[in-house]
């Protein structure tokens, strides 16, 4: 079985999402014998923004990396993504990664009856860390965006591990991390922290 682990936080060792994605992946490693883990740190190793040259494949190294990003995603049975809220949405590095996975004919296609997702059958776990509290807020352009993106690719098995109110106070931060760690998704439970 294959797991793809993606981090996007710019906060290094202070990152809440990095701490929590590491805990999720460690738990899956313990539970699944022989689990193969691929890792992409989008801060240390970002995917370039999609440009006209990307589509024309003018840079062979960029094209090869984009194909690897897509193949890594398609090959994964489980995808664990650290998705901090930055400016009400996801980090631009994560958006750039999504732009490389959203490829017609690979993760979705259009038909006469509308769009069809081609990447179903995966389990996606998103660690959502936020300075404020946005559950059920119309200002949340992060979780609904991710839910829609994965659903468009045919993936409806998406769970959110949330740590909210991180910026309210040190105690809020500690409690939010402890709460998330106490409810980590596991291989045995299909849905733990779904919205």
Positions that interact with ligand FMN (CB under 6 A): 9-11, 15-18, 84-88, 129-132, 166-167
Question: Which residue number, 31 or 45, has a Cβ lying nearer to ligand FMN?
Answer: 45
Determine whether the annotation assigns residue 87 to a binding site.
yes
Neighbours of 46 (CB within 10 A): 16
Determine how β-strand 123-129 pairs with β-strand 78-84: parallel
To ligand FMN, the closest distance from the beta carbon of 161 in angstroms equals 12
Determine whether the annotation assigns residue 130 to a binding site.
yes
Contact (Cβ atoms closer than 8 angstroms) between residue 99 and residue 143: no
Determine whether the annotation assigns residue 89 to a binding site.
no
Question: Which residue number, 119 or 163, has a Cβ lying nearer to ligand FMN?
Answer: 163
Contact (Cβ atoms closer than 8 angstroms) between residue 64 and residue 29: no
To ligand FMN, the closest distance from the beta carbon of 173 in angstroms equals 8
Tell me the DSSP string of 33-101.
TT-EEEEEETTTSPPPPP-HHHHHT-SHHHHHHHHHHHHHHHH-SEEEEEEE-BTTB--HHHHHHHHHH
Question: Which residue number, 86 or 108, has a Cβ lying nearer to ligand FMN?
Answer: 86
To ligand FMN, the closest distance from the beta carbon of 137 in angstroms equals 10
DSSP 8-class letter at 139: T
Determine whether the annotation assigns residue 134 to a binding site.
no
Determine whether the annotation assigns residue 129 to a binding site.
yes
Which positions make up the binding site for FMN?
A: 9, 15-17, 85-88, 129-132
């Amino acid at each position: 079985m294959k797991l793809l682990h993606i981090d996007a936080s710019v906060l290094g060792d202070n990152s809440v999402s990095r701490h929590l994605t590491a805990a999720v992946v460690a738990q899956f490693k313990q539970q699944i014998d022989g689990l193969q883990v691929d890792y992409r740190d989008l801060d240390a190793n970002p995917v370039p923004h999609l440009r006209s040259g990307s589509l024309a494949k003018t840079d062979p190294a960029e094209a090869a990396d984009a194909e690897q990003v897509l193949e890594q995603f398609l090959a994964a049975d489980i995808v664990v993504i650290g998705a901090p809220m930055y400016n009400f949405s996801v980090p631009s590095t994560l958006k750039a990664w999504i732009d490389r996975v959203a490829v017609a004919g690979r993760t979705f296609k259009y038909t006469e009856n509308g769009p069809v997702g081609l990447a179903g059958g995966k389990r996606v776990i998103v660690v959502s860390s936020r300075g404020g509290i946005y559950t059920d807020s119309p200002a949340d352009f992060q979780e609904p965006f991710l839910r829609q993106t994965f659903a468009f690719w045919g993936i409806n098995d998406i769970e959110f591990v949330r740590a909210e109110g991180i910026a309210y106070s040190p105690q809020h931060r500690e409690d939010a991390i402890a709460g998330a760690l106490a409810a980590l998704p596991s291989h045995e439970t299909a849905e733990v922290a779904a919205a």
